[in-house]
Amino acid sequence: MAAEIGATRPTGKTPFNSNKKTTATMKKEQLFSIGYHLNSWDLAGLPIKPALEFLKGQGFEWFEILAWNSLSDVFARKYMDLGPQEPAEVITDTTFLRRMATLSQAQREQGIRLSSLYCNGTFTDPKMWPWERDAFEAIARILAGFGAPVLVMGGGPSEAIAGKHTPEDYKTFCRSLEEIGRITKEFGVETVYHPHLDTFIETREQLDRMMDELDTGCVGLCIDPAHLVQTNSDPVNATRTYIEAIRYMHFKDSAVDPSLKGFDRYAAFCELGAGVVDLKGLADVLIEAEYDGLAIIELDVSQKTAEQSTLESIDYVTNVLGLSLNPAKAG
């Protein structure tokens, strides 16, 4: 069984917390814990073992990392550019096993726990889908072995690649997500979808279309505010609108530079508080809703060292937003 993060984990359209305070004037407390994404080290090619030691030393209890199997961020985007064809051979088996061994060692020896593996898929390609489904099931089994609570899925062909999504495209996409969600629940793992630049769901309009079609009893939502704000969407409003379906969060900021196009837009991502995302508004929505899942601080690449970048985001979260990395311990 996957580890419980909080007192109540939502499913479908069930309200977030059945233990709501009855005194209207009582200030609600933070129930969600805050973890860190290893992208800052991982995407720069830096070793992850010292990164995990550093994060544990800063007080983090949870971390997320890309799966880096053949459903990884880089592979999926490359594959979508190539168009529909048989999947390429997996070439990272040994690397992947060593990666999982490092994570297992850190969890066992340091007590810092894996929250999720992030995986991309295409979801709408009938040739790819049976293979993708099996790979997602394998990832879910790995997560269950770690006691990790969530599988984060992203991807799907963007409109820039595949043309404007049709109603049938949304149906196919959502049925695929739901199929994975039903599979992962068998292992005690929640599945969430992460809207992301250059994927099937980028904008608020696309998010609304997906949520109209999606069975949130099978699949939840992971809001990443930096990706939404890059498309002129309001992440605070999206979080408030879909709070009952949100089972995982990313805390991420962006300076949003309109002159940047395509993949260059990723250069606008920045340390928390250095961009335009209303992170306080986001935190207020989560606290008001008594969200008791996880919020993962993330920054893909920084001009600063990964350690300095992390310290700046920690400072913003704790001293500006007034949040705790581990509210249960703080209380």
Are the C-beta atoms of 110 and 61 separated by less than 8 Å? no
- How many structural domains comprise the chain? 1
pLDDT digits (tens, 9 = 90+) for 110-128: 999 999 999 989 999 999 8
- Give a yes or no: residue 14 inside a domain: no
The CATH number linked to 54 is 3.20.20.150
- Give a yes or no: residue 22 inside a domain: no
- Give a yes or no: residue 80 inside a domain: yes
The answer to whether residue 189 scores a pLDDT higher than 80 is: yes
At 196, the pLDDT band (50, 70, 90 cuts) reads: very high
- Give a yes or no: residue 319 inside a domain: yes
The answer to whether residue 206 scores a pLDDT higher than 90 is: yes
**What is the pLDDT at residue 25?**
56
Give the C-alpha separation, 99 to 49, whole Å.
Answer: 9
Which residue range forms the structural domain that includes residue 325?
33-330
Mean pLDDT for 67-74 is 50
At 43, the pLDDT band (50, 70, 90 cuts) reads: confident
- Give a yes or no: residue 87 inside a domain: yes
Using alpha carbons, select from 261, 254, 317, 1 the residue that is nearest to residue 146.
Answer: 1
The answer to whether residue 83 scores a pLDDT higher than 70 is: no
The answer to whether residue 100 scores a pLDDT higher than 60 is: yes
The answer to whether residue 195 scores a pLDDT higher than 90 is: yes
Mean pLDDT for 285-305 is 94
**What is the pLDDT at residue 97?**
86
The answer to whether residue 152 scores a pLDDT higher than 70 is: yes
Q: Write down the mean pLDDT value for the chain.
A: 86
Collect contacts of 262-267 with beta carbons under 8 A, ≥24 apart.
Answer: 262/198, 263/198, 265/197, 265/230, 266/197, 266/300, 266/301, 267/301
At 258, the pLDDT band (50, 70, 90 cuts) reads: confident
Greatest mean pLDDT among 94-108, 165-179, 262-276, 301-315: 165-179
Whole-prediction pTM = 0.86
- Give a yes or no: residue 118 inside a domain: yes
**What is the pLDDT at residue 81?**
41
